[in-house]
Structure 1
Amino acid sequence: MKSVKVIKVGGKVIGDDQKLDRFLKSFAAIKEPKVLIHGGGSIASDIGKRLDIKPQMIDGRRVTDAETLEVITMVYGGLVSKSIVAKLQALGVNAAGLSGADLNIIPAKKRDPEPVDFGWVGDVEDVNTNWLTQFLNADVTPVLAPLTHDGAGNMLNTNADTIASSVASALSDDFDTELMFCFEQPGVMNDKKLITEMNLLLYRHLRDSGIVTDGMIPKLDLGFEALKNGAKVSIRSFKDVAEPESGTTLVSN
């Protein structure tokens, strides 16, 4: 079975030119077919502030009202996406910047306003892999912005980790798929020590003990979901994206 790598890189790397350049050089060195999913929340917040649109957050999650939706659509689907594509072209990677609305790749449903109304936020309903597969077979690298659509003409802000997990799960039906979550840390840490391998029982223990907290919890939840659906999964530093064994590898119990 043909292999494919689905790689998500966090917004803090995207917002730092030096880190982004280092990541993209390593990403370009990967010979296998690959998909890149990017964040960009910090850039969207900065652009919004310039437009006098202040970010609204609830429990660390962005509230996407109509004005904010315009900002993130411009930033994620335009500025960030096309800047990454241009840099990849310079590195010899033939890339295409896409949102979930393009080619109906990721239809989603607007999140229920109860108990918390996050506005124009979407939960993934499906991933249509036909076009992604055609791109990959044509040696084109899809670059997916964290945007989906509701089928009724509306864009939706959707968590990039969720998109990465959903895409990896869907592609696992036809490819030997590896999902990598790349950010600033070496992987999942226990104090200052890297956890090189984690199963679901260890994860639950570390979560319940308060060792694994905050944004790492949804990342691991989504990682184990993709693992269950047939993908290989690791959480690693953006510096080590091209390394065969790096970071924290998720394994079955």
Structure 2
Amino acid sequence: MHQDLVIIKLGGNALLDLSATFFQQLHALKAAGHKIILLHGGGAMISDLSTQLNLPIKKVAGIRVTDEATLKVTKMVLLGHMQPLLAQKLSQAGFSVTCQNAAMNHLLTGEFLDFETYGYVGTITQANHEALLNFDSDILILAPLALTPDGHWLNVNADQAACNLAAMLQVKQLYLLTDVAGVLNQGQVLPSLNQKEALALCQKEVITAGMQPKIKAAFQAKHAGVQHVFITNTLQASGTSIQ
């Protein structure tokens, strides 16, 4: 169990509007001796650019269907815009940062999820532990992209990617930051959620399609040995703790 490593998944929308409080919370983690892997999304901007380029936007069960053109847009947004922007903001806030991607040193290896249904979408099956556990900076920035063993790029759901990594690296704490304060039921944040409760809420459509991949990935991480998995909109509050 790597207790000093924290993985934080940051949604694309949140990335564009990082608050002073967020940076304070990162500094508090650093002061407590933690190193941080920050895995960022970029879904809204991928959709915006796809629309500008007249590319179809299709999601199945909350997962973006990714053809070759959409994959190029995804790589462009994540590696060409989001990652440098995040590195700039973190550097300005006083952190040393390292940006890496799947093409470097077999960092993130994946396999297709279901090519017929999703196209170039995958899951992470292997990770370069040495590179991911022994980076020299305060924060390692990663995009949710993987490469198959024969060199195909894969778009990976950012929540799934963060949960895969947390399980593989056996970190103690995983935060899935989103734009709501946690999993909501009738407008109230559920402080904790077990799998039976989650299934019932999905069947009642209280947990909607957009949240379902996040919930599914969170339980996978929990069952794989990650001690603390939180769905929240701030590092200050635990939001919904996955049980």
TM-score (norm 1): 0.85
> Could you say which residue in structure 1 is the equivalent of 2:148?
150
1:58–1:2 distance in 2 versus 1, CA, 3 Å: closer
Cα distance in 1 for partners of 2:200, 2:57 equals 34
**Among 91, 109, 112, which residue is 2:111 paired with?**
109
The Cα offsets for residues 73-131 of structure 1, whole Å up to 9 and x where unpaired, read as 111112101110111111111112222232212101123334x2x22112221222211
The Cα offsets for residues 190-247 of structure 1, whole Å up to 9 and x where unpaired, read as 111111112222222322333222122221111111111221101101xx21x2x520
1:199–1:157 distance in 2 versus 1, CA, 3 Å: same
Matched, 1:82 2:80: no
Give the CA RMSD over aligned residues. 2.0
1:26–1:46 distance in 2 versus 1, CA, 3 Å: farther
> Could you say which residue in structure 1 is the equivalent of 2:169?
171
> Could you say which residue in structure 2 is the equivalent of 1:222?
217
| Offset of residue 24 of structure 1 | 4.7
Partners of 1:101 and 1:107 within 8 A in 2: no
Cα distance in 2 for partners of 1:167, 1:119 equals 22
The Cα offsets for residues 116-162 of structure 1, whole Å up to 9 and x where unpaired, read as 2x221122212222111111xx3441111111111223211111111
Q: Percent identity?
A: 29
Matched, 1:7 2:8: yes
1:28–1:199 distance in 2 versus 1, CA, 3 Å: same
> Could you say which residue in structure 1 is the equivalent of 2:69?
67
| Offset of residue 53 of structure 1 | 3.2
1:216–1:112 distance in 2 versus 1, CA, 3 Å: closer
| Offset of residue 54 of structure 1 | 4.0
What code does the residue aligned with 2:231 have? I
1:210–1:110 distance in 2 versus 1, CA, 3 Å: closer
Cα distance in 2 for partners of 1:71, 1:225 equals 29
Partners of 2:218 and 2:229 within 8 A in 1: yes
> Could you say which residue in structure 1 is the equivalent of 2:50?
48
1:66–1:52 distance in 2 versus 1, CA, 3 Å: same
Partners of 2:232 and 2:239 within 8 A in 1: yes
Partners of 1:24 and 1:88 within 8 A in 2: no
Cα distance in 2 for partners of 1:4, 1:200 equals 26
Aligned residue pair count: 237
1:60–1:233 distance in 2 versus 1, CA, 3 Å: closer
| Offset of residue 55 of structure 1 | 2.8
Cα distance in 1 for partners of 2:191, 2:203 equals 19
